[in-house]
Amino acid sequence: AQTVTQSQPEMSVQEAETVTLSCTYDTSESDYYLFWYKQPPSRQMILVIRQEAYKQQNATENRFSVNFQKAAKSFSLKISDSQLGDAAMYFCAYRSPGNQFYFGTGTSLTVIP
């Protein structure tokens, strides 16, 4: 069965600094998608970034980038120039070829002014 592990329940970062959130997953598939979602307090979940497993190049979206290590089954999220609005719960997610999504338990990010 696919599992997604986020080993950091909480992280904090100074405003304008960089932080990296970790995620590992377990799968026997070779073709899949990985995602990072952000869930601000009392607000709905929004997509931050996605990575196709067949692509070697790491995805980037403005201040957000990933480090995708397929062999190690690792998918970390780097947030550069952290802003107060980045404070949220961050979930790593795996999409199987059968279109089922599996989420990690989340990392709560605090941004310190």
Partner 1 sequence: DTGVSQNPRHKITKRGQNVTFRCDPISEHNRLYWYRQTLGQGPEFLTYFQNEAQLEKSRLLSDRFSAERPKGSFSTLEIQRTEQGDSAMYLCASSPSGGPRGYEQYFGPGTRLTVT
Nearest to 110 by CA among 41, 35, 63, 61: 41
Q: How many of the other CB atoms lie within 10 Å of CB of 50?
A: 15
Per CB under 8 A, the segment of 14-22, 39-47, 68-76, 80-88 that binds partner 1 is: 39-47
Give yes or no for residue 64 binding partner 1 (CB under 8 A): no
- Tokens standing for residue 52: 């196709």
d(CA 110, CA 13): 6
Size of the site for partner 1 (CB under 8 A): 22
CB closer to partner 1, 18 vs 110: 110
- Tokens standing for residue 12: 């904090």
Per CB under 8 A, the segment of 14-22, 30-38, 59-67, 76-84 that binds partner 1 is: 30-38
In the set 77, 91, 109, 111, which binds partner 1 (CB under 8 A)? 91
Give yes or no for residue 54 binding partner 1 (CB under 8 A): no
- Tokens standing for residue 39: 């869930």
Per CB under 8 A, the segment of 53-61, 71-79, 80-88, 96-104 that binds partner 1 is: 96-104
**Residue written as token pair 């089922």:** 100
